[in-house]
Structure 1
């Protein structure tokens, strides 16, 4: 396990309500092929901090990678709603683009 992952895991343990640490650790888990651990971390953020808009793109993409397109579409849609509520046009555009690409792939 890399020093970065160990540091982030310790930060998550010491700050269990901090979504940023969980999010960053999940991204590191993806880099080393630990998609199931990343999914658990991302889902924890969605469940406990649903306003953390950045998680929806990455969780949706992970679902696409896991070939769970239904969950991916639902995740992107929820993220678009959250981004819209927050007037976060950048995140909203990213999520809409990812959703559109997936829908095209499914047609």
Structure 2
């Protein structure tokens, strides 16, 4: 919880910092609080669809919680965003996870 509290403290001064929100979401995933993590990942991606690092983690979280249709949608959005950004590495990760789920 100490890391969570530190990240929350940092976010007080920069509440729209995607990196800090993403880091906080990952901490919530670590402790099994998928609801809080999901809210943060969705907030990041709804406000900044170019923040490609959160697509994979949000889709995996949804997949883990048996929200397959929604996970597929986020994988697809992520693949489109990474393709647009020219981020082949992230695209390949998303595509691999997507194919594992769909096929």
- Find out whether 1:18 has 2:17 as its counterpart: yes
Q: Gapped runs of 5+ residues in structure 1? A: none
Question: 1:52 aligns to what?
Answer: 51
Question: 2:87 aligns to what?
Answer: 88
Counterpart-to-counterpart distance in 1, 2:33 and 2:60: 14
Question: 1:65 aligns to what?
Answer: 64
Runs of 4+ deviating beyond 2 Å: none
Counterpart-to-counterpart distance in 2, 1:42 and 1:17: 12
Question: 2:98 aligns to what?
Answer: 99
How many residues were matched structurally?
Answer: 103
Output the TM-score relative to the length of structure 1.
0.94
Output the TM-score relative to the length of structure 2.
0.97
Q: Gapped runs of 5+ residues in structure 2? A: none
What do the CA deviations read for 1:79-103 (whole angstroms, capped 9, x no partner)? 0000001110000000000000000
